[in-house]
Amino acid sequence: MDEKLSERIGEAARHLQESHEDIEATLQSAVEVTLASIEGCDAVGLSMVLKRRQIETVAATDTMVRIADQLQYELEEGPCLGVLWERAVMRSGDLEHDERWPSWGPRVVKETEARSIMSFALFTNADHLVALNLYSRSADAFDDLALAEGMSIAAQISIAVSAAQKWDVMSQGLVSRTVIGQATGILMERYDLDPVKAFSVMTRMSNDGNIKLRILAAQIVANRAESKRDVL
């Protein structure tokens, strides 16, 4: 890998890791960084396994990615699926004739003009399987150098995505605690309760109504805000 590209990847990785963006913004930044970093690459996407093994394209630089990915999901065939389930790296410079994907290859060439692909598994956490997919409209677009560069970027993105996932969880926890505190204060004021009793009332309402405490708290806060607007 040449020195300038290595510096660019390092700078992009630092940005991803230090930005404290939410997970959606981090994923989109990741595909844009990859597109700008790999020569011959025309489009980049990230695929994630959600609940019940459902796969979704969660970030993309071009509609070409979404069409190509969706064909993989529908046909249950393609390099993205291979790296997700087998945790491998896959590359092809002739999708139309690649024997590994006899249905998907010709279809994707016809519908998107994509002829080359590289796919990498991202090692984030056990809860999310993620694949990085790089497409090119040129045949044999990705040589060994591009493969090495792609692996380097995939490793950096894995770190950034893991950090963003942790930041998202922390942020959601902070928001939940703040809303629960606000709701407790509203019940204290409305019913002249001390903090312990107000929280106990809210907990009982949560259990009786089979509703999560943070959701109930948000409803209490929202109703209070609505009542204030009505008075004004």
Q: Which of 125, 150, 165 is the last residue of a domain?
A: 165
Both 60 and 113 in one domain: the answer is yes
Instruction: Give every CB contact of residue 14 below 8 A, 6+ residues apart in sequence.
Output: none
Both 180 and 80 in one domain: the answer is no
Both 7 and 73 in one domain: the answer is yes
Taking only the tens place, the pLDDT of each residue in 51-107 is 667 888 988 999 999 999 999 999 999 999 999 888 779 999 999 999 999 999 999
Instruction: Report the predicted TM-score, pTM, of the whole model to 2 decimal places.
Output: 0.67
CATH number of the domain that 185 lies in?
1.10.10.10
Both 17 and 109 in one domain: the answer is yes
Taking only the tens place, the pLDDT of each residue in 181-207 is 788 888 888 888 887 788 788 888 888
Q: Between β-strands 128-136 and 43-49, what pairing exists: parallel, antiparallel or unpaired?
A: antiparallel
Q: Which of 115, 141, 165 is the last residue of a domain?
A: 165
Structural domain of residue 44, as residue ranges?
A: 3-165
Both 180 and 82 in one domain: the answer is no
